[in-house]
Amino acid sequence: MKQNIIGALCALAVMGGASAQSPKKPVAKPSTKAAAAPAAEEKDAATLEFEKFRAEMEESNPAELFEMKGQEQWKAKRGPKNVSLAESCDLGQGVGKVEGAYVKMPRYFADADAVMDAERRIVWCMVEKQGFKFDDIAKQPFANETFTPDITNLVTYVATHSRNMKIAVPLDDPKVRDAYEVGKEIAAYRAGPYDFSCNTCHGTDGKRIRMQNLPNLSTPAGAIKGVQGWPGYRMTGGVMLTHQWRMGDCFRQQRFPQPKYASDAVAYLLTYMIGTANGQVYKGPGIKR
């Protein structure tokens, strides 16, 4: 069967130039757009429960707890080299400067010769400046019910210092622009047992999985929804989770294998997504369903 497809295709491809001009033959396709259900207005129990939870939480803002821990860890001398990130780590705004750094990443860092999102950059500093081992950090990079890694606190701390600032990923830097374009292709790449890509679920306006609204990541209005509130305190499980975690969990839903922690693939995807949200205001770490 497979041979069949290939044979036919290669043959077709060769005569492609001519066939492409041939009159359009109708292909039996059910009309999809017309039949699509309108976005339902009614909210399910889980949504209502979440909204209540968020209203309660916004008063106490659980992210603050992690931010405070992150601030301590940013300033403390730590790791085998016994230096602080405050005195060694450049997030793109100068050594130790956190103000506005989060909304200007991903960016290109010449010392690492890589495009890095905030989490990746902080990990790089922990390894290069403080002497931590990457593999130790990557072993358990995200929080669960009983454990929150330092990196999550640090990202939350840094993100807090971009609250109410405009997202400004430096897309005029050719290296960042290239990462953006590659990230866009990663988002469109269909594979796996279900033929899914990010765009299957996040490529059109107004779609839902069950009752969960799916932001259309290809538009500024949708992309900001995918950026807003991350890192976020998640009602499910009551844990603080980062944007890198969200990328990984969507690859899981996509039935893909797991993206490596703090890798190019994730950094490029984030460059595409956050870059698409450029110009819009980031409201800081938030609360997520």
Catalytic residue set? 250
- Residues in contact with ligand HEC, counted by CB under 6 A, come to a total of 25
Residue 284 Cβ vs another protein, minimum distance, rounded to whole Å = 29
How far apart are alpha carbons 256 and 210 in whole angstroms? 21
- Report how far Cα 109 is from the mean position of its chain's Cα atoms: 19
Which residue is closest to ligand HEC by CB?
198
Residue 224, interface with ligand HEC (CB under 6 A)?
no
How far apart are alpha carbons 210 and 26 in whole angstroms? 33
The contact pattern for ligand HEC, residues 256-275, with x = CB under 6 A and - = no contact, is: -------------x------
The amino acid present at 62, given as its one-letter code, is P
How far apart are alpha carbons 207 and 183 in whole angstroms? 22
Between 84 and 200, CB nearer to another protein:
200
Residue 188 Cβ vs another protein, minimum distance, rounded to whole Å = 7
Q: Quick one: 26 exposed, middle or buried, by C-beta within 10 A (0-12, 13-18, 19+)?
A: exposed
Between 80 and 193, CB nearer to another protein:
193
Residue 82, interface with ligand HEC (CB under 6 A)?
no
Residue 98 Cβ vs another protein, minimum distance, rounded to whole Å = 28
Residue 268 Cβ vs ligand HEC, minimum distance, rounded to whole Å = 11
Between 16 and 279, CB nearer to another protein:
16
User: In the block, which residue shows the tokens 């992150």?
Assistant: 70
Residue 243 Cβ vs another protein, minimum distance, rounded to whole Å = 16
Q: How far apart are the first and last CA of the chain?
A: 44
Residue 190 interacts, among ligand HEC, another protein, none and using kind-specific CB cut-offs from 5 to 8 Å, with: another protein
Beta partners for residue 90, in sequence order: 95
Q: Which residues contact 52 (CB under 8 A, 6 or more apart)?
A: none
Between 79 and 259, CB nearer to ligand HEC:
259
Count the Cβ atoms, other than its own, within 10 Å of residue 207: 16
Residue 120 interacts, among ligand HEC, another protein, none and using kind-specific CB cut-offs from 5 to 8 Å, with: none
How far apart are alpha carbons 129 and 118 in whole angstroms? 16
Between 137 and 274, CB nearer to ligand HEC:
274
* Cβ atoms 265, 186 nearer than 8 A: yes
Alpha carbon of 244 to those of 123, 193, 194: distances in Å?
12, 23, 23
Residues in touch with ligand HEC (CB under 6 A): 30, 32, 187, 196, 198, 200-202, 209, 212-215, 225-226, 229, 246-247, 250-251, 253-254, 269, 288-289
